[in-house]
Amino acid sequence: MLGLIIGGLNDYRELSIRVNVVKTADGSSLVSLGNTKVMAGVKVEVGKPFEDTPDEAH
């Protein structure tokens, strides 16, 4: 995705959003706005609940 964001009256900054940029993550993105870049990644692992609290998430 590529676009422009208006920050002020005449302040245009390029916006870019890329997804799945980290191949070892279950989900990731790279967002660029002007000179600012933010990368986020998520790794998920399914586990077993504790025996004494089988209905609670941990």
Q: 2-58, pLDDT tens digit by residue? A: 666 556 666 678 899 999 999 999 999 999 998 999 999 999 988 888 889 888 766
How far apart CA 47 and CA 10 sit, in angstroms, is 51
pLDDT of residue 3: 64
**What's the confidence (pLDDT) of residue 19?**
97
Q: Is the pTM of this model over 0.85?
A: no
Nearest residue to 25 via CA among 2, 45, 49: 45
Residue 50 confidence (pLDDT): 87
pLDDT higher than 70, residue 1 = no
d(CA 28, CA 9): 33
What pLDDT is attached to residue 35?
Answer: 92
